[in-house]
Amino acid sequence: MNIDILHQPDSAIAKLDLAPGESITAEAGAMVAMSGSMQVDTTLRQGGGGLMGGLKRMMTGESLFLSVFQASDRPAELFLAPKLMGDICVYPLQGNTLVVQSTGYLANTAGVNIDIGFPGLKTFFSGESLFWLSISGSGTVLLSSFGGIYDVDVDGEYIVDTGHIVAFEKTLDFSVTKAGAGWIGSILGGEGLVCRFRGRGKVYCQTHNPGAFGHLIGPRLPAR
Amino acid sequence: MHYEIRYKPAFSSLVLTLRPGERILAEAGAMASRSAALNQTTQLFGGLIPALLKHWFGGESLFVNQFVNPSQSPQDLVLTQSTLGDMQVLHLEGNAICLQPGAYIAHTSGVSVDLDWAGFSSWFSGEGLFKLKLSGKGLVFFGAYGGISTVAIRDEFVVDTGHLVAYEPSISMKIGLAGGLLGSMKSGEGFINRLSGRGTIYLQSRSVDGLARFLKPKLR
C-alpha cells in the first residue's frame, strides 16, 4: 500500500493506494473520497473487560465506530482526513505497542490490533470525551493532530500537557501528575494535569490543544 | 536563551532552550511540553490586585507560570497559544509595547508588566478596561489568531476591533463607531479603533469574534 500525505501541515490529507484485496481501517467519518469499486463496512469497536466493562465503556462514550475499506479485484484509491486543521503522521508499528489519544487516531492497516482503554489513563480528563487506544501488532498507523505534530525522543524524563499528547510508545513509563511544585499552583496555573514520561521511547505531541481552542470559542457561542 | 518559532504561520509554537539558571514567564496554560528537569512554579500575574484587574478587565489569565532551569545542562520548553495563528517576538531595549487582551504569551526576566488604563470606550468595544504594557530589556512573545501584519503608522489609522494585537505606547487609541450609529449597525463593522500617533502596530488577519459570529447562526 502506498501512502502519501498531502497538504501538510495545516490541511493534511492521506492519499492511499490499495492493491486488489488490500484493506485499511479508519475512524468513521474520515473518508473524504474513494474509488467507486471500494467495499466499505462499518464496525463498532469497544473495550474489553467483559460485559460490564463493555457496558460501562458504552456509557462513558469509550467506543469507536470504524470503517473498513477493502479494494475489490482491482486497485483502489482512498482519501482520509481528520476534522480539525492539522497534520497527519505515519507511524510504522513493528510488533510494539503505541498508546494513542482517541482524537489522534486516524487509520491503521491490516495486522494492527486496536484495544480501547488503557489502564491508568482513563478518568483524569474532566469534561472532555477523551480516551485512549492501545494499538499493537505490525503494520502502519496514521495519527492526526490539531496543529503541527512533533516527536520527542525521551531518554530520561519528559513532561507533556495532557491536551497536547497524540500518542506515545508503551516502552515509556508514565504517571499523571501535577504540572508544578504544588497542587494549587498547578491547577491555577492552567496546566492542570500533565503526563510525566520516564524511560526510553517516542512521544508524539500536537502544537495545539483542542480543549483550549474549544474553551476560547465556546463561551462566545449561545448555549445549546 | 535560544528560541525558535516553528510551524509558522498557522500553528506557530515557541520552542525554547533554557541554559542553566535562565528563566521565562509564560501565560497560564501555554506549556505544551518540557524537560522534566525544568522547575515550574505558578504565580499571580504581577501581584494580587494587578492580577485581578488584568483578569477581570484585561481579559488575561490571573496566573503566569515561571520556568527555571536549575540544572547544569540546557533544557527544552515548548510554549503555544489556544488559537491557530502566528507569533511574534520583540526585543525590548528599554522601549515598551502594549498588548491587546489574549495576545500575551511569554516574557523573559528584565521585562516588567504593567497595567495601563485603556478607558471605558475600550471596555464597551470588548477590548478590555486595561491594557498590558510590557517594558524594560528582554524578550516579549505574543500571538494572534491568523497572520500578523506589521504596519508603521504616521498619523491616523483605523483598525476594526478584534484585529489589533499590539501597538507601541506612543500611539493613542480611541474607540469609535465605523460610520455613525446607523451606518455602523447596517455595515456590520460596529466599533473601530481610531489610532493616532507615530509608531508600529500589529494586526491579526482573523478575529475570534468573527469566527464566533460565523458559527452562531449555524448552531441549533
Task: Nearest chain B residue to A206 by CA: give it.
Answer: B32
In chain A, how many domains are there?
1
CA distance B39 to B211: 37
Cβ-nearest to B82 among A189, A196, A212? A212
User: Which of B44, B75, B80, B86 is the mutation pick for testing A, counting most A CBs within 10 A?
Assistant: B80
> Strands B199-204 and B148-153: what pairing?
antiparallel
User: CA of A131, closest CA in chain B: separation in Å?
Assistant: 19
B32, A209: Cβ pair inside 8 Å?
yes
CA distances for A146 relative to A128, A164, B80, B83, B123, angstroms: 15, 9, 12, 11, 32
Rg, Å, chain B Cα set: 18
pLDDT computed for residue B38 by the predictor: 95
A10, B41: Cβ pair inside 8 Å?
no
CA distances for B200 relative to B97, B168, B169, B171, B195, angstroms: 9, 6, 9, 8, 11
Interface of B with A (CB under 8 A): 6-7, 10-11, 13, 27-37, 39-43, 61-65, 78, 80-84, 208-209, 211-212, 215-216, 219
CA distance A144 to A123: 22
At A162-172, the pLDDT tens digits run 889 999 999 99
A185, B41: Cβ pair inside 8 Å?
yes
CA distance B214 to A61: 29
Backbone angles phi, psi at A185, to 5 degrees: -60, -40
Backbone angles phi, psi at B187, to 5 degrees: -80, -15
CA distances for B57 relative to A223, B50, B102, B117, B169, angstroms: 23, 10, 12, 10, 19
Grid cell in block for residue A122: 482513563
User: CA of A196, closest CA in chain B: separation in Å?
Assistant: 7
CA atoms within 13 A on the CB side of B101: 26
User: Across the 220 residues of chain B, what is the mean pLDDT of every consecutive 10-residue run?
Assistant: 94 97 93 94 74 64 87 96 95 94 92 81 70 92 95 91 91 76 56 89 92 85
CA distance A196 to A159: 5
Grid cell in block for residue B82: 489556544
pLDDT computed for residue A115 by the predictor: 84
How many interface pairs between A and B have CB atoms less than 8 angstroms apart?
127
Cβ-nearest to B11 among A10, A185, A217? A10
Domain that holds residue A45: 2-220
Q: Which H/E stretch holds residue B192?
A: strand B191-196
What domains appear along chain B, each with residue ranges and CATH number?
A: 2-218 (3.60.160.10)
CA distance A175 to A113: 24
For chain A, give the number of residues.
Answer: 224
User: Which of B15, B24, B84 is the mutation pick for testing A, counting most A CBs within 10 A?
Assistant: B84
A192-217: string of b/e by CB count within 10 Å (b at 16+)? bbbbbbeeebbbbbbbbbbbbbeebe
List chain B residues with CB under 8 Å of A9.
7, 10-11
pLDDT computed for residue A148 by the predictor: 95
Residues 6 or more apart whose Cβ sits within 8 Å of residue B152: B199, B200
A152 touches chain B (CB under 8 A): yes
Q: Amino acid letter at A48? A: G
pLDDT computed for residue A217 by the predictor: 87
pLDDT per position in chain A (224 positions), as tens?
999 999 998 899 999 999 999 999 999 889 999 999 999 998 877 655 556 555 655 655 566 788 999 999 999 999 999 999 999 999 999 999 999 988 899 999 999 998 887 655 544 444 455 678 889 999 999 999 999 999 999 999 999 988 899 999 999 988 887 776 666 665 665 556 788 999 999 999 999 998 888 888 888 888 76
Backbone angles phi, psi at A179, to 5 degrees: -75, -40
At B88-106, the pLDDT tens digits run 999 999 999 999 888 999 9
Cβ-nearest to B40 among A152, A179, A217? A179
pLDDT computed for residue A103 by the predictor: 87
CA distance B23 to B109: 7
Q: Is B28 within 8 Å of B42 (Cβ atoms)?
A: yes
B209, A208: Cβ pair inside 8 Å?
no
CATH number at residue A66: 3.60.160.10
List chain B residues with CB under 8 Å of A180.
40-42, 65
As beta bridge partners, residue B77 has: B16, B34
A177 touches chain B (CB under 8 A): no
As beta bridge partners, residue B66 has: B25, B41
At A7-56, the pLDDT tens digits run 998 899 999 999 999 999 999 889 999 999 999 998 877 655 556 555 65
CA distance B23 to B108: 7
pLDDT computed for residue A55 by the predictor: 61
At B37-50, the pLDDT tens digits run 999 988 877 666 66
For chain B, give the number of residues.
Answer: 220
CA distance B68 to B39: 5
Q: Amino acid letter at B148? A: I
List chain B residues with CB under 8 Å of A158.
33-36
B11, A147: Cβ pair inside 8 Å?
yes
pLDDT computed for residue A188 by the predictor: 62
Cβ-nearest to A189 among B28, B37, B80? B28
Cβ-nearest to B13 among A159, A190, A207? A207
User: Is the backbone peptide bond immediately before A222 cis, with ω within 30 degrees of 0?
Assistant: no
Backbone angles phi, psi at B48, to 5 degrees: -65, -55
Count CB neighbours of B183 within 10 A. Answer: 11
